[in-house]
Every structure is written in C-alpha cells, then in structure tokens.
Amino acid sequence: MSVIDKKKALVTGASRGIGKAVALTLASLGYDLYMTCHKNSGLLNRLAEEFQEKYQIKCKCYTFPICDEEKVAKMFQDIPYLDILINNAGISYIGLLTDMTYKEWQEVIDTNLNACFLTCRAAVPEMVRRRRGKIINISSVWGNIGASTEVAYSASKGGVNAFTRALAKELGPSNIQVNAIACGVIDTDMNRCFDKEEMNMLIQEIPSDRMGRPDEVAELVKLLCTGNEYLTGQVITLDGGWT
C-alpha cells in the first residue's frame, strides 16, 4: 500500500471509554490515527505508543477542547485526508434545567454538537474530492427520547441525530456515508456519576440485564466502517433492547 493510500482515521475523545475502544479497533485494522482528548494527554500519548508498537501504524495526538474552532482548523493542517471520522467526544450535565447556567448549557452543546460541525466541515471537502469517506457520530438514546434532568445532553444528542440524517443526504451523491450510533447505558466513566443503587435500577430496565461495553460499540463502528456503502443516514440504537 502506498503512503498516499494509507488508511487514516480521526477519533475524538479517544483517551478512554468508547473512544479508546474505537481507536483500538481502527488501529487493529491498520488505520493511521489522529486522536484527540480534552485533558488526558499523558494517557492519550501512552495509547498512541502502544498502538504504534503493536500494529505498526502512525498516531498523532492532540489535547484541546474539541469545540475550539481555531485548534480544530490547526489540527486539520496535519491531516491530508480522512477515510474515517469518528465524532465521539462528549460531556454530560445532570441536574434540573433551572439550576443550569448558560455557560454550562453552552459547554454541553459546544462539545457534543458544535464540535461535529467543526470536524465535519474540515474533513468533508477532501472526502468529496476523493469520493469516499465515512462519518460516524456517537450519539445517545437520550437524543431519541429525552431524559429528565439531562435536558442539555438530550438536546445536543438529538441535534447530532438530525445533523447525521441531514448531512447523509447532502453527501450521499459523493459516496460518503454518515451514520450515528445511539448508545444506551455503556460502562464508561461518564456513567460513574450514578451510585450503585441508581445503576442497579437502570440495569433492571434493560432486557439484556447489563450495561453495554465500549468494545461492543467499537464492533458496531467497525461494521459501519467496513461494510455496506448503501447504509447511510441512519441512527442505529445500541441499548440492549431497552427502547
């Protein structure tokens, strides 16, 4: 495979949880990786070293808020093209809407939704020129149905779902597939905010009787990356049968 044909992927929020599992899966498939995180630069760099040694790929790491327009643009100066874009970075806020400050609201919307705009805007022109590419947005079941005390998070993920469907229609003629995965309760640090009793109550509502695993999300990402090119504009729910 020539250098110009080397497969390349960007994974945002790659230092842990779903992003880490997705990055590992793509590394195992031979993708050179661009990985971002907000703060965990040491952890991200160690992952990059591990992937490079084990899978003989190249990794570049970036630590900044993924909603920073200037830093996203600067990062893309290093990226000649992408075959795969994984918009995974996300944050949550749990609490009453009336207790939420506007700054907190903006941070959730910026990180979960506006960042998708920034990365897609930067990645799409070269995908269109090459007439190939896949964009996968990591969403949530709360974007489908909404959650009490998670209004901002639900709104941001609902926006991601609509963004996915609309962009898929826009990019379909260029042979670029855009899909989202609406995750249920996945065993990640984001859900460590629940105590044991609250988590048990959540699990009791899931027909599969357990939380999902990050590697199960990554496996679905793998299918979307390597599979049917006619599948686009879909928000695929992965929640153990909960909805």
Domain of 132, CATH number, reads 3.40.50.720
Asked whether residue 192 is assigned to any structural domain, the reply reads: no
Query: pLDDT digits over 112-156, tens only?
Result: 999 999 999 999 999 999 999 999 999 999 999 999 999 999 999
Number of domains in the chain: 1
pLDDT in tens, 50-87: 999 999 999 999 999 999 999 999 999 999 999 999 99
| pLDDT single digits (tens) 89-99 | 999 999 999 99
Is the pLDDT score of 3 beyond 60? Answer: no
pLDDT bracket for residue 4 (50, 70, 90): low
Beta pairing partners, 8: 32
| Band (199; pLDDT cuts 50, 70, 90) | confident
pLDDT at 2: 47
Look at residue 99 and tell me if it is in a domain.
Answer: yes
Whether residue 194 is contained in a domain is answered as no
Task: State yes or no: is 93 an active-site residue.
Answer: no
59 occurs within a structural domain: yes
More confident residue, 227 or 211: 211
Q: What is the pTM of this model?
A: 0.95
Nearest-angstrom CA–CA distance, 6 and 200: 45
Among 34, 62, 93, 153, the one annotated catalytic:
153
What are the pLDDT digits (tens) for 12-30? Answer: 999 999 999 999 999 999 9
In a domain, 107, yes or no: yes
Is 204 inside a domain boundary?
no
Q: What residues contact 71, with CB distance under 8 A and at least 6 apart?
A: 62, 64, 65
Q: What distance in Å separates the CA atoms of residue 76 and residue 119, rounded to the nearest whole number?
A: 9
How confident is the model at residue 1, as a pLDDT? 43
| Residue 61: domain span | 3-187+214-237
Question: How would residue 202 be classed by pLDDT, with cut points 50, 70 and 90?
Answer: confident
Let me know: does 31 contact 225? Beta carbons within 8 Å: no
Residue 68 lies in a domain: yes
DSSP state of 60: E
Is residue 201 one of the residues assigned to a domain? Answer: no
